[in-house]
Amino acid sequence: MTDQFRRIKNVLSVLNVLSLGSLLLLLSACKDKITTGWSGYVEGEYVYISAPLGGRLDQIRVQVGQQVSKDAPLFSLEAEVENAARDEAQARLLSARAQASNTEKGRRSEEIAVSQAQLTSAQAQAALARQELARQQQLLTQGFVSKSRIDDAQTNVKLSEARVAELNAALSVARLPARVDERAAAQASADAAKDVVRQSAWRSDQKNQASPTNALVAEVFYRQGEYIQAGQPVLSLLPPENRKARFFVPEGELGSVTVGQAVKLNCDGCGAAIPAHISRIASKAEYTPPVIYSNVQRAKLVFLVEAIPDQPARLLLHPGQPLDVSPVSPVSPVSAVSNGTTGASR
C-alpha cells in the first residue's frame, strides 16, 4: 500500500507541474496579445482650387510652402472680356433705370409750356369767334346779312371751342405719367438689366480666386502665361484640420478599438507623443498593405482606422510621414472579450 500511495503522489505532482506550465504558457500568450501599438502614416486631404471659367493664367500670388490666411488672393486669370461685359451691363442698367424713371413723370416743362401757349391761342380764337357771331346776329336783325352768315359764324364758334377742349385735354395728359402697364414693363426691364450686371460681376470675380480657409500651399500646377481650362485645379491647399493619421489594426485586435478612443501618435522628430482621437473605423477588412512602415507586423487581415490629431500638435505632422500609433491605455483582447466589445459585436 505504501508503494501504491507513493506512485499516486508522484503522478499528482507531475500533473500539478504540467498544469502550472500550461497556465504560464497561457498567460504568456495572453500577454503577447495585449494591444501595444500599430503602424501607420499621416494622410492629408487637399483642397484643390480652380476657377469655373477658363482663361490665361495672369498672375500667381502665392508659392509652394507658403502659409496663407482665409480670403488671401491666390491667383488671377485674364478677365478683359468679362470686365468689358460687366461695364456694358452696367451701362445698360443705367439706361433701363432712366427709362423706368421717365415713365413715372409727365412731359417736360418746356413741352407743357408749348401746349399751354397753344391753349391760350385757341381760347383767344374762340373768344373772337363768339364776338363775330354776336356781331353777325346784330347785323341779321338789321337786315344787312343773310341767315347763312349766321350759320358760318356759329360753326366757327363750335370749332374754336372744340379746339380749346382738345388742348385742355392734351395739357392734362402731358402732366400724367405713363400708363401702369408701361411703367411695369420699364421696371421689369430695369430689374432684368440689374440681374445681367450681377451675372457679369460674378464672372469677372471668378477670374480672381482667394483662399477659402487658413492653409498651407501644397502644390502649384501651372505657371503664369499658361491657359487654364474651366474647373482645372491651379493649386492645392492643405488646411491644418485636414491632416489625420491612418493606421491598420489586425482583425484580432479590432475589439479593443472604438470611435472616439484616445490614442498617441509618435513620429521621428516630433518630440512628445501627439494626442489624437479615432474618428473612423473601416467597415470592411483588407489585406496588409505592401508598405506598412514596420518590420514586425505580420497580420494579413487588417482594418483601416483614422484618427484626428488634437490642435495645435497636428501642425507637426506631414503627409506621408510614418507613425507609430498606440492606445492611451493598452487593452488586452481577452479583457475586451470579457467586456463584450469584440470585433464581431461591431
What pLDDT digit, counting tens, does each position of 238-261 carry? 999 999 999 999 988 888 899 999
pLDDT at 44 over 90: yes
Lowest-confidence segment of 138-147, 224-233, 274-283 by average pLDDT: 138-147
Angle at 155 between CA 151 and CA 160, to 5 degrees: 150
* CB atoms closer than 10 angstroms to residue 122: 20
For the chain, the three-class secondary structure string (H helix, E strand, C coil) is CHHHHHHHHHHHHHHHHHHHHHHHHHHHHHHHCCCCCEEEEEEECCEEECCCCCEEEEEECCCCCCEECCCCEEEEECCHHHHHHHHHHHHHHHHHHHHHHHCCCCCCHHHHHHHHHHHHHHHHHHHHHHHHHHHHHHHHHCCCCCHHHHHHHHHHHHHHHHHHHHHHHHHHHHCCCCCHHHHHHHHHHHHHHHHHHHHHHHHHHCCEEECCCCEEEEEECCCCCCEECCCCCCEEEECHHHEEEEEEEEHHHHHHCCCCCEEEEECCCCCCCEEEEEEEECCCCEECCCCCCCCCCCCCEEEEEEEEECCCHHHHCCCCCEEEEEECCCCCHHHHHHCCCCCCCC
Q: Return the CATH class of domain 32-45+240-338.
A: mainly beta
Mean pLDDT of 308-320: 86
Q: What is the pLDDT of residue 274?
A: 92
- For 132-141, 218-227, 230-239, which range has the lowest pLDDT when averaged over its residues? 132-141
**How far apart, in whole angstroms, are the C-alpha atoms of residue 127 and residue 133?**
10
Max CA distance (Å), the chain: 189
Residues 6+ apart with CB under 8 A from 65: 216, 217
pLDDT in tens, 108-119: 778 778 888 888
More confident residue, 172 or 222: 222
Q: Do domains 32-45+240-338 and 94-198 have the same CATH topology?
A: no
87 pLDDT higher than 90 = yes
Check residue 182 and give its pLDDT: 84
Three cell numbers written together for 227:
491657359
Please name the fold of domain 94-198: Helix Hairpins (1.10.287)
pLDDT at 92 over 80: yes
Answer yes or no: is pLDDT of 339 > 60: no
- How confident is the model at residue 181, as a pLDDT? 85
pLDDT score of 227 = 96
Mean pLDDT (the chain) is 82
Domain assignments of the chain as residue spans, ordered by start: 32-45+240-338, 94-198
Confidence class for position 24, pLDDT limits 50, 70, 90: very low
**What pLDDT shows up at residue 6?**
62
